[in-house]
Structure 1
Amino acid sequence: MKIYFTLEIRHSIFDFTPTQKTYVTIGTFDGVHIGHQKIIKKLVAEAKKANKQSVLLTFFPHPRMVLQKDVSIKLINTIEEKSEQLRRLGLDCLLIHPFSKDFSRLTALDFVRDILVNQLNTDKLIIGYDHHFGKNREGNIEQLTEYSHLYDFVVEEIPAQDIDDVSVSSTKIRRALQQGHLKTANDYLGYAYTLRGTVVTGQQLGSKIGFPTANIQIKESYKLIPKTGAYIVQAHLNNAVVYGMMNIGMRPTVNGTTETIEVHFFDFNEDLYGREITIELLYYLREEQKFDSIATLKQQLATDKQQALNYLDTAIR
C-alpha cells in the first residue's frame, strides 16, 4: 500500500510564512541520495514527534553555477524530480530559493538572524557534518551553536558515520553515471536513476526495422544524461509498469548527427506523442556501437531485447 504525502513548495523564502515554529535542514541535496535521506528522515520524524513543520531550504541555480560560473556541471535531479523524492520522504515544506551573488554575500550572522530566525522561525536546525554557510562559507557548526544560544534554537549535527558509511556524495554519483556504472549510482541513490521528458516525433527508423521507439526530449539543459549506450528501463504508463530498452547516443550506424534518447517498450503499442514520461534506468547493457549494416544492427537489438528479458525474469519479475 502506497502512502501519499502532501508537499508544500515555495520558490522563495519570502513566500513562506510559518504559522508555528519549524524544524529545518539546509543544502543543495542533489540526488536526494541515501546520505541525504537519513538527514531528511530524521528531520521529518523529529518534527512530527514535536508537532512542528519540517522544512528543507535548498537553492537554484546550484551555487557552483553562480559562484564558479560552472555551466558544465550537470545535476542528478531536476527541480521536479527532487521535489518528488522529497515528497515521498514525507517532508512538509520545500523552499527553493533563487541563489545569487547578493544572497551569497550574507554573513553567517545575517543568515542565521534574517533567514533562519526571522524568516523561517526555526526551532531546531538539523544538518549533516561539516556543514558550512554564509559569505565565503565562513559559518560552521561552532558558529551555529553560538548563534543558537543567542537566538534560542537548537542545532543538531548528524555525525559522519551516521550518514556517510560508504562515502556517498552527489559528485561520486554523477561520476558513476557518466562512466556507465549504473548499479553503483542506483545503490548510492537508493532508487533507480530517472530521466523525465516529452515524447517527440523522430525519424521513425526504429519502426522500419521492427523496434519502434519513443524519442524523449528533456527540456532542462542542466540535467545529467548518463553515458551513451543501451540500458534496460521501466516506466509507469497507464497505471502499469512497462519495461523496455533505451539507447542514448548518436546512432552512428545511421549517421546520426545529434544525441538522442530513444526507448523501445516491450508489449506496449499505444501512442505516446506529446506525453511527458519518466524513465527509470535499471541496468547498463552495453556501449553504443557502429554496425556495418542495418541488418547487423537489427540482430544486435534482438540480442539486447533477449538479454533484457532474461535480466527482468531474474531481477524484477
Structure 2
Amino acid sequence: MITFENIEQFNSQEPTVVTIGTFDGVHVGHRKIINRLTASAKANNLKSTILTFFPHPRMVLQQNTDLKLITTLSEKKSILEKTGLDQLFVHPFTREFSRLSALEFVRDILVEKLNAKKVIIGYDHRFGRNRTATIKDLIEFGSLFNFEVEQISAEEIDEVSISSTKIRNALNEGDIHTANTYLGYEFMLNGTIVKGKGLGRQIEFPTANLQIEENYKLIPKNGVYVVRSSIENRTIYGMMNIGVNPTVNGTQRTIEVHFFNLEKDLYGQQFQIDLLTRLRDETRFDSLDALREQLKKDKKNALAHIEKREI
C-alpha cells in the first residue's frame, strides 16, 4: 500500500476504483467494503484506492465536539496496510476544502487527481459544499465524466454505522469483548513509555506508564485489563490499569502496564498494547497492602485468561 498525505500534488497515471470515508476503527463492516473494493480493482485492472480525511471532518466543522476516535491515524494506516489496498490518500480536511462544490470535488479530485473509473459509495453518501449532493448526483457526474458508480446497500451501510457506534459505546463501558468482536481484532493503544511515580515498584508490581500523544484517541473505561504486547519479537502478556490511582488519592488519569516475567528498562520506547479482556473496575483500597493483595488476585485471574486463550 502506498500512502499519500495530500492529494493536491498527485495525478494518477493509472485508473482507479475509489471509495470515500473516515473508516474509523477499520472494523469488520469496513473490511467488507474494502474487500469489495480490492476485488473490483483486480477484476477491472484498476488501482484500489481509499480517500479519507484528517482531521475528522467533525473536528473541523464542529469546534466544540468531544469526538474520540477508535483508531489514531497511524493505527488506521497500519490496519489498512494489511487489507491488500493499493493506495491510501489522507487529505487534510479544512474549512476551505469543505466548501468545494460537488462539481469541483468530482471533477478536480475524483477525476483529475484520482483518475477514478469506478466509485463504490454508500446509498446515503452526501458530498460537496454543505453536503447537498447525493448519490443520484454522483451517478449523473459519472455519466458526464465516464466513471461507474456502485452503491453500497442500506443494510451494509447500517452495519458499518451500527458497528462504529457499538464499538465506541462498548469501549466507554469497558466491554472489550464486544468491541473486539466488532473490530475483528484486539483494540489497541499506542504510545511511549514514560516515568511514573514508582508506586508499582513499591508494592512489587512495577508498571510502565503509557503516554498517548493523540488527545483524540478513545481511552476505554477506567479499570484493570488483561493485555498483550510485543517486545523484541516476543509476545509479552500483562495487566493494565486505566484510572487515577484512588488508593493514593491520585487525580490524573494514567495508563499503567505491569508486564509478566519482564525485567527491562522500557523508558522512551514505543509500544502497542492490545486489550484482551477487562478484569474489574478501578477501586480505592484502604491501604497499599490491600492493593497489593488485590493485584495478586488480578494476576492470577489474568494468567488464567491467557492460558485459556492459548489452549
Class of the TM-score when normalised by the shorter of the 2 chains: over 0.9
User: Deviation per CA, 1:24-61, whole angstroms, max 9, x where unpaired?
Assistant: 11011111111111111111121123222111111111
Residue 19 of structure 1 pairs with residue 13 of structure 2: yes
User: Deviation per CA, 1:86-122, whole angstroms, max 9, x where unpaired?
Assistant: 0010111111111111111112122111111111110
Q: 1:78 aligns with which of 67, 72, 75?
A: 72
Secondary structure, aligned partner of 1:161:
helix
Output the CA distance in 1 between the equivalents of 2:59 and 2:2: 26
Q: Which amino acid aligns with 1:68?
A: Q
Output the CA distance in 1 between the equivalents of 2:157 and 2:147: 23
- When residues 163 and 187 of structure 1 are mapped into structure 2, their CA distance, relative to the original with a 3 A threshold, is farther
Secondary structure, aligned partner of 1:169:
helix
Output the CA distance in 2 between the equivalents of 1:316 and 1:132: 46
Contact 1:24 1:54 in 2 (8 A): yes
Q: Which amino acid aligns with 1:135?
A: R
Q: Which residue of 2 aligns with 1:189?
A: 183
Q: 1:111 aligns with which of 105, 121, 124?
A: 105
Which structure 2 segments of 5+ residues have no match? none
1:1-317 matched pairs, under 5 angstroms: 7-162=1-156, 164-165=158-159, 168-317=162-311
User: Deviation per CA, 1:243-280, whole angstroms, max 9, x where unpaired?
Assistant: 11000000010121211100011112222111000000
Output the CA distance in 2 between the equivalents of 1:78 and 1:166: 18
Question: Alpha carbon RMSD of aligned pairs, Å?
Answer: 1.4
Output the CA distance in 1 between the equivalents of 2:22 and 2:160: 20
Secondary structure, aligned partner of 1:168:
helix
What's the TM-score, normalizing by structure 2? 0.96
How many residues of Structure 1 are paired with residues of Structure 2 in the alignment? Answer: 311
What's the TM-score, normalizing by structure 1? 0.94
Output the CA distance in 1 between the equivalents of 2:132 and 2:143: 19
Contact 1:201 1:273 in 2 (8 A): yes
TM superposition shift of 1:163: 5.5
Q: Which amino acid aligns with 2:204?
A: G
Q: Which amino acid aligns with 1:199?
A: I
Contact 2:221 2:242 in 1 (8 A): yes
Output the CA distance in 2 between the equivalents of 1:146 and 1:316: 54
